Amino acid sequence: MISPLRKRRKRSGALYTRFPDIEDLLNQLDALPAPDLIHRCRLLKDQPGYVPSECLVHFVRRYWATQNLMVCNPLLEVLLERVRRRLPRGISADGRTVALARSDAGEQVYDTFVAMLIGEIEAYDERLDFFEIAFHRGLAMLNYSAQGRAGRSASRRAGVVDEEEGEVEVEVEEALGAYDPFAPEILDQSLYRSRLPGAMSKLSPLEQRIVEMHRQDIPISSKDPDAITMMGMTGRSDKGIRLIRDRVFAKLRRLLNSGDVA
């Protein structure tokens, strides 16, 4: 059984929740025998059946907490290799200069993540809940803190690996269009509310994530480097997220008005 996350949001007090596609996949993987689960988690990203890191974190935490090392150890090996691949590079663009601050930050990220995992044998560490929602964003946040401790001036929007692909910061989030599929006045309509899940099921996983984040009032961007944002969770630009969101809202309105969903 997949247990819910325990961390709560600071402002609302609501529990953190995984994205629906991750929750569904966790339930599918939970039904597998241990050898099959390990095999699936070892698949590479370009192979069918690849397991996202968010799911991998969940199973490592579970089997480490119960000290089922026969299952935990091979999964942990895969997870830590993924962490290593996301660490800041200690070599400059010319391939010759060793950037000590970057190298030190990478070691701090790795050590901090491992320490959180190890600590769960004693007590549940709520900080790891975020890694079950947005693994890469979680590492980016650790990296931001590590760079500060290393005395390196870093961009607030720097990523863990693709730092050269910085995105333009948005000062003010524009108001949404007139149609919002989760507006209280239309959610109060029982027929609409009953048809919404069917319409949502016709969206792609990325579209579902963006709509779900909108429903949870997660901002597209933020000046706070520790804030949960749509940009951080999807790796998409502000403009790209807005285009997808507007396209999805139009799609939902069309589906819900056409009678194509039960």
Q: Is 89 in the same domain as 211?
A: no
Q: Is 33 in the same domain as 102?
A: yes
Q: Is residue 175 part of a domain?
A: no
Q: Is 128 in the same domain as 241?
A: no
Q: Is 124 in the same domain as 194?
A: no
The answer to whether 53 touches 79, Cβ cutoff 8 Å, is yes
Q: Is 26 in the same domain as 154?
A: yes
3-state secondary structure the chain: CCCCCCCECCCCCCECCCCHHHHHHHHHHHCCCHHHHHHHHHCCCCCCCCCCHHHHHHHHHHHHHCCCHHHHHHHHHHHHHHHHHCCCCCECCCCCCECHHHHHHHHHHHHHHHHHHHHCCCCCCHHHHHHHCCHHHHHHHHHHHHHHHCCCCCCCCCCCCCHHHCCCCCCCCCCCCCCCCCCHHHHCCHHHHHHHHHHHCCCCHHHHHHHHHHHCCCCCCCCCCCCCCHHHHHCCCHHHHHHHHHHHHHHHHHHHHHCCCC
Torsion angle of the four alpha carbons 109, 110, 113, 115, in this order, in degrees rounded to the nearest 10: -110
What's the predicted TM-score (pTM) here? 0.60
Q: Distance (Å, rounded) from C-alpha 251 to C-alpha 261? A: 12
Q: Distance (Å, rounded) from C-alpha 123 to C-alpha 77? A: 22
Range of 93's domain? 20-165
The 10 Å Cβ neighbour count of residue 253 is 14
**What total number of domains does the chain contain?**
2
Q: Is 161 in the same domain as 192?
A: no
Of 165, 198, 217, the domain-final residue: 165
What's residue 252's pLDDT?
A: 85
Q: Is residue 8 part of a domain?
A: no
Q: Is 117 in the same domain as 201?
A: no
The answer to whether 249 touches 218, Cβ cutoff 8 Å, is no
Q: Is 111 in the same domain as 61?
A: yes
pLDDT string in tens for the chain (262-residue length) = 899 999 988 878 888 899 989 999 999 999 999 999 999 999 998 999 999 999 999 999 999 999 898 999 999 999 999 998 888 665 555 554 445 556 677 788 888 888 888 888 888 999 999 999 989 888 888 887 777 665 543 443 344 443 333 332 322 223 334 567 777 767 777 777 788 888 888 888 888 888 888 877 788 888 877 677 888 777 788 888 888 888 888 888 888 876 655 5
Burial label, 14 (beta-carbon count in 10 A; 0-12, 13-18, 19+) = exposed
User: Count of alpha carbons within 13 Å of 149, Cβ hemisphere only?
Assistant: 14
Q: Is residue 3 part of a domain?
A: no
Q: Is residue 174 part of a domain?
A: no
Q: Is 144 in the same domain as 26?
A: yes
Of 133, 165, 197, the domain-final residue: 165
Q: Distance (Å, rounded) from C-alpha 24 to C-alpha 39? A: 19
> Token pair 């931001």 is at which residue?
144
Q: Is residue 173 part of a domain?
A: no
